[in-house]
Amino acid sequence: MAKVSVIISYYKALDSLQLILKALNNQSAKEFEAIISEDDNNPETSLFLQKNKGLYNFPIKHTCQQQDNGFRKNQMLNKSIKVAEGKTIVFIDGDCIPHKHFVKAYINQTIPNVMLKGRRVMLDEVTTNKIKNTSSLKYLALFNILTSKSGKKKEAIYLKNKSLIFTLKDKGLLGCNWGIQKQHLLAINGFDEDYIRAAVGEDTDIEWRLKKNGIGSKSMKNKAIVYHLYHKKGYSAEGVEKNRELLREKQEANNFVCLNGLDTLSKS
């Protein structure tokens, strides 16, 4: 059985998914499965997996929607949690390529009652285009990152046992790079499917609910690294504010075990 289930939130960008799978194939730790959590039902994705699934040295599962109904990322994350076999679940987005020691870091750092929170390197457009045009991960070498115009370059420095700073501020959870034991997700009924707009629901919301249920946090800065491929923002400020309003309502109601999650507890 896999120690870790890596859930990849994915929507349409097959070229980016291929790069992620290539990076997972090069992982230094092999005790994991990948679950492609597709918020769509794209025949191109299914065809690619049918033809290429056997080329990877780790098992791949594919969950998807019956049809594209707009942003339903949390719904898909819950579907993927249900089929995950790993005791630890790690979440990345379909625009984030993992470092070669990414899985190993989560295996080594996982402890009960703690969520693990990684960060991301923000690749610039030039570096992203080089990677996509060549399908090569060589441009993710530290020297190339440091000499590029990418952002968050310090996040690219891999340190096995330490971080660049001794006292780490507890920064907010990023939905594109974090992990936790599956049992803790089950305890809060997974992701809240009431969020049907991007941002907040897949990170800020689940973080406060986990904390409310007694879960601590630990930084994975400089240990579990992902490289975020450049693209234009896919969400609006108006949508984010509506999500924040929804979050405030849920916090006031103290619904840290969400009502519309892995198991629907209540329907109005």
Write down the pTM of the prediction.
0.95
Any domain includes 261: no
Number of domains in the chain: 1
CATH assignment at residue 94? 3.90.550.10
What is the structure's pLDDT at 168?
53
What is the structure's pLDDT at 232?
86
> Residue 22 in 3-state DSSP?
helix
Any domain includes 265: no
Any domain includes 267: no
Ramachandran quadrant class, 190 (left: phi over 0; alpha: psi -120 to 50; beta: rest):
left
Identify the domain containing residue 88 by its residue range. Answer: 4-253
Q: Is 259 exposed, middle or buried (0-12, 13-18, 19+ CB in 10 A)?
A: middle
Res. 167: pLDDT tops 80 = no
Any domain includes 234: yes
Sign of CA dihedral 58, 202, 223, 147: positive
Any domain includes 259: no
Any domain includes 73: yes
pLDDT digits (tens, 9 = 90+) for 27-41: 999 999 999 999 999
What is the structure's pLDDT at 109?
96
| Residue percentage of the chain with pLDDT more than 70 | 96
On whether the CB atoms of residues 135 and 167 are closer than 8 A, the answer is no
Any domain includes 262: no
Tell me the average pLDDT across 80-102: 98
What is the structure's pLDDT at 42?
95
What is the structure's pLDDT at 72?
96
Local confidence band at 267 (pLDDT 50, 70, 90 cut-offs): very low
